[in-house]
Structure 1
Amino acid sequence: MGQSHSLTINGRSLSVSLDDPDTPLLYVLRNEVGLHGPRFGCGLGQCGSCTVHVDGQAVRSCVTPLSSLKPEAKIVTLEGLGTPEAPHPVQAAFVEEQAAQCGYCINGMIMTSAALLKDKPKPSEAEIRQALVGNLCRCGTHARIVRAVQRAAASL
């Protein structure tokens, strides 16, 4: 019989039951909760595609065991950042700049950028590039991604 864990995900209180408390948060979000914004990429915390916010900080959910989260932790995924009707400024800017191609990196790029802009509303281009250095993009849309973050910063 599994242990029950209470989580607040995208503003909703949920309880999940798992046999292994060291199950990565990514697996809980995708398999137990049904959210597909965070993606499985490398499984090692090196590509960024699994990035979510935990208490406002960007974290790699593929290497974050469920047992490491405090019960009061607030988790926000790409789905909770904004809505189709009212997207977060970073989400809107990524659409306007056509910054996504294959979609592999987009979750990590958006979640990392939103965390950056929360902490530093007017970052320089160098600061944007530095913040995103740990997010891998296979398509090479880096210039569009940087422009999208700059556009979002200007709209905040």
Structure 2
Amino acid sequence: MTDYLEITTRKLDLEEITQLVNLPECGAISVFIGTTRNNMNGKLVKRLEYEAYNNMAIKEMKKICDQIRLKWSDIRNIAIFHRIGEVQVQQSSIIIAISSPHRKDSLEAVDYCINEFKRTVPIWKKEWYDDSTYVWKENCECIHHEKKISTN
């Protein structure tokens, strides 16, 4: 059982990442791919730019892996890769791949993983629009965001 965790500036390679979690005893590899969409709240999006607190991000990603292994004992390998820097429309910013002997565990674990990732991992994005304006965004699920809301 291995965790593959990476914050990178290079394009994410789905085949490479799924091969990391592929094992002969596993009948399932479940994958989540988060991509840049071309719109948000009625505005056309040109690209996203991601920044991360790398050391803390990797620590939080490892915590998520540990939590997954506690909840689903049949999970084998986990890969969580997130891209930072510019990510163009239709390109991947995050790929999560999780293997297990049967599909149910890996499917549930992938869903849990992306939700916890968005909630706890310190990665921020700048959303660039077609009119050359931008907005810094934080995941609304983020625990830091929740704290801001609750203190007002």
Q: Which structure shows the higher helix fraction?
A: 1
TM, length-normalised to structure 2: 0.29
Whose RCO is larger (CA < 8 A, sep 6+)?
2
TM, length-normalised to structure 1: 0.28
Q: Which structure shows the higher strand fraction?
A: 2
